[in-house]
Amino acid sequence: MAFKERVFSGMQPTGSLHLGNYLGAMLQWIKLQETHECIYCVVDLHAITVWQDPGELKDAIRKVTAAYIACGLDPQRSILFNQSQVSEHAELAWVFNCVARLGWLNRMTQFKEKAGKDRENASVGLYVYPDLMAADILAYKATHVPVGDDQKQHLELARDIAQKFNNDFGKWIEKAGHADGLFFPQPEPVITGPATRVMSLRDGTKKMSKSEPSDMSRINLMDDTDAIADKIKRAKTDMEPAPPSNLEELKARPEVDNLVGIYAALAGSTKEEALGVLIATAKEGPSIFTGLKRALTEAAVEKLGPIRAEIVRLMDDPAEIDRILADGSQRARAIARPILDEVKDIVGFVRS
């Protein structure tokens, strides 16, 4: 069966969005609006898998929504909403908790990284996070999921869950009128561009993240010109006396590779062209990275300045943001409800 092409993705309101979220996911989200029906969610149920201050969470949900719109998501064309207002996500996640296998979840590297050494103290929600993510996507039978590279493994799990559900309930899926026995599609990851994994400015081996304690490790969409300039100026590089002369050499120098990748994504060029800027400016001094850092600062300020101003303007009217989320939730539920009703019939629940 050919499933209708539909895009779903989300971000957690666990702090202010950063350049990694913007370049890794948001740029694709914006582009996909031109060609697809898109559903973009503020995943607040995911956020509480680690402790969130309730007083700050509401504000963070509105800020992420404002950031979505300021970056270029159109609430008329796309569906924008927060996850907790559409209970179908949580309902389907429970069914998927019963479809997914412990062994599958045990392999998830994000849980291992986030739980760290204190595993026994991690929430159960953090452990079953990938089941909820599969439910987010499949509650809409979404076929395409634009994400950063770090979400690849979770997407593979969503595909496994879709397949196992189709296999386990094949007979009942057919009885429900799906002659080919396929109820859920296999959602495709959309991971493209020169910055699918933006790394920390302080450590080229760790991804840029909202929850990293050092604010110097990331550029936030809310950072002003001075903060952006300061963070890029202090961004870690290396002690090599010359710039890498080709992409192969660049790969072996993670911090430099990261800055070149970020510059390429912001300037809309290839990584090779961005490396060309580093090579061409390396003699300017005082450091071989001064020219690239200057160009990178200019590009970041040019791109993020207007976004920041628009977030501030939108946050002036929280009631309007709540209205957009309420409207988006209604439209999202109109798609998810009938899918969930069918899931209940297939699984064997009685419903009135």
Of the residues 114, 152, 164, 344, only one is catalytic, namely 114
By CB under 6 A, the residues from 150 to 179 that bind ligand AQP are: 150-151
Of the residues 207, 231, 271, 293, only one is catalytic, namely 207
Shortest separation between residue 295's beta carbon and ligand AQP, angstroms: 20
Of the residues 4, 63, 164, 210, only one is catalytic, namely 210
Closest chain position to ligand AQP (CB): 24
Q: Which stretch binds ligand AQP (CB under 6 A): 6-14, 162-170, 240-248, 274-282?
A: 6-14
Q: Which stretch binds ligand AQP (CB under 6 A): 115-123, 147-155, 261-269, 328-336?
A: 147-155
Q: Which of 7, 8, 16, 25 binds ligand AQP (CB under 6 A)?
A: 25
Q: Give yes or no: 233 in active site.
A: no
Report the alpha-carbon angle 91-92-94, nearest 5: 70
Residue count, binding to ligand AQP (CB under 6 A): 19
CB-CB neighbours of 84 under 10 Å: 18
Q: How far apart are CA 191 and CA 197, in angstroms?
A: 10
Evaluate the omega torsion of the peptide bond into residue 243 and state whether it is cis, within 30 degrees of 0.
no
Shortest separation between residue 163's beta carbon and ligand AQP, angstroms: 22
By CB under 6 A, the residues from 52 to 81 that bind ligand AQP are: none
Smaller CB separation from ligand AQP, 21 or 65: 21
Distances in whole angstroms, Cα of residue 212 to Cα of each of 15, 144, 206, 342: 10, 29, 10, 41
Sequential DSSP letters for 244-305: -SSHHHHHT-HHHHHHHHHHHHHHT--HHHHHHHHHHHGGGSSSTTHHHHHHHHHHHHHHHH
- Which residue do the tokens 């697809």 mark? 36
Question: Is residue 24 a contact residue for ligand AQP (CB under 6 A)?
Answer: yes
Site string for ligand AQP, 179-218 (x = CB under 6 A): -----------------xxx--------xxxxx-------
Smaller CB separation from ligand AQP, 48 or 347: 48
Question: Is residue 7 a contact residue for ligand AQP (CB under 6 A)?
Answer: no
| Dihedral over alpha carbons 139, 21, 24, 316 (to 10 degrees) | 90
Q: How far apart are CA 18 and CA 209, in angstroms?
A: 8
Size of the chain in residues: 352
Is the separation of the CB atoms in 48 and 121 below 8 Å?
no
DSSP one-letter code for 108: -
Question: Is residue 11 a contact residue for ligand AQP (CB under 6 A)?
Answer: yes
Smaller CB separation from ligand AQP, 51 or 319: 51
DSSP one-letter code for 201: S
Q: Give yes or no: 114 in active site.
A: yes
**Interface residue list for ligand AQP (CB under 6 A):** 11-12, 14, 20-21, 24-25, 147-148, 150-151, 196-198, 207-211
Active-site amino acid positions: 114, 207, 210
